[in-house]
């Protein structure tokens, strides 16, 4: 973890109330999808944790939804503006544990870390099936980017205006057998392994239909590096700090 300075390269609305921000700065210590940065904003006491959507040489991208003062302030930032951020934080997804056929599931802005995870699994020769959920068609973002990766993609909308009508769980139940058939999985290997990021009720619902997986337990945070204990959750292995021990937790650890 380092306290780095970043410069805004791009900051624009990609769906109603949802923004994409690209920043330049040190990305050398980012280990993988699921990690986050903790941004310091002028006039606000607490930093704002933001998941990393994608990253490369000296640049990273975040997708965020306006939900309060911090994200509202971020939406007004212009290219060239600078800010401090603790980066990178958290553990990230445990790539080696993800099987060849896994379901990568994101709800709304929860699709952020799923994008790079899909890219890494694809490059490793695996065949992930991505499911992303939104309330309605006009809220959809990054569908083209996922398609460009060449991974299978299913979209769910609550009002049925695009893709499967209903939740990401409805989509999972609809496509799971087809996805497993396509990947040639034998009957004894047809377990649902899910990597999930999104609202807690959504993740809990996915867990009820999954045999195993990894979940991004994003939480309200203060320090972001484990000192204040403010984001502690109780797991089957005892108290854990979301910012330090997570934010990615195995399904078998979680008490919903």
* pLDDT digit string, tens, across residues 56-101: 989 999 999 999 999 999 999 999 999 999 999 999 999 999 998 8
CA proximity to 190, closest of 66, 56, 99: 99
The full set of domains in the chain, from first to last, is 2-89 (2.40.30.10), 95-216 (3.40.50.80)
pLDDT at 24: 98
- Three-state secondary structure call for residue 193: strand
Contact status, residue 243 vs residue 49, Cβ threshold 8 Å: yes
pLDDT at 226: 83
CA proximity to 195, closest of 175, 176, 215, 180: 215
User: Which pTM was predicted?
Assistant: 0.93
CA-to-CA dists, residue 8 to 58, 84, 112, 136, 141, angstroms = 12, 11, 18, 29, 21
pLDDT at 186: 61
Burial tier of 95 (Cβ tally within 10 Å: 0-12, 13-18, 19+): middle
pLDDT at 191: 87
pLDDT at 180: 75
In 10 A of CB 225, how many CB atoms? 15
Tokens of 110: 């929860």
d(CA 216, CA 250): 9
d(CA 112, CA 12): 15
pLDDT at 188: 58
Name every residue whose Cβ is closer than 8 Å to that of residue 142 and which is 6 or more positions away in sequence: 14, 63, 111, 115, 132
Alpha helix stretches (DSSP H) within the chain: 69-75, 112-123, 143-149, 168-182, 200-207, 242-245
Give the residue ranges of the chain where pLDDT is below 70: 1, 184-190
pLDDT at 54: 94
The residues facing 107 across adjacent strands are 133
């Amino acid at each position: 973890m380092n306290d780095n300075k970043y410069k805004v390269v791009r900051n624009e609305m990609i769906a109603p109330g949802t923004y994409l921000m690209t920043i330049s700065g040190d990305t050398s210590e980012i280990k993988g999808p699921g990690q986050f940065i903790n941004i310091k904003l002028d006039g606000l006491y607490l930093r704002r944790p933001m998941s990393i959507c994608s990253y490369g040489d000296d640049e990273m991208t975040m997708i965020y939804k306006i939900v309060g003062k911090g994200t509202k302030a971020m939406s007004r930032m212009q290219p060239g503006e600078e800010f401090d951020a603790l980066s990178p934080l958290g553990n990230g997804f445990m790539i080696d544990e993800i099987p060849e056929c896994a379901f990568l599931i994101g709800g709304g802005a929860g699709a952020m870390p799923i994008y790079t995870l899909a890219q890494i699994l694809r490059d490793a020769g695996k065949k992930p099936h991505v499911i992303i959920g939104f309330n309605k068609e006009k809220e959809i973002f990054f569908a083209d980017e996922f398609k460009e990766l060449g991974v299978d993609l299913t979209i769910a909308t609550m009002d049925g205006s695009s893709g499967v009508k209903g939740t990401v769980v409805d989509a999972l139940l609809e496509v799971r057998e087809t996805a497993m058939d396509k990947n040639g999985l034998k009957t004894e290997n047809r377990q649902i392994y899910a990597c999930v990021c999104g609202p807690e009720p959504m993740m809990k619902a996915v867990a009820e239909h999954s045999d195993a997986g990894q979940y991004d337990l994003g939480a309200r945070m203060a320090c972001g590096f484990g000192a204040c204990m403010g984001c502690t959750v109780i797991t089957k292995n005892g108290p854990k700090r979301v910012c330090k021990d997570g934010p990615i937790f195995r399904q078998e650890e979680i008490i919903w």
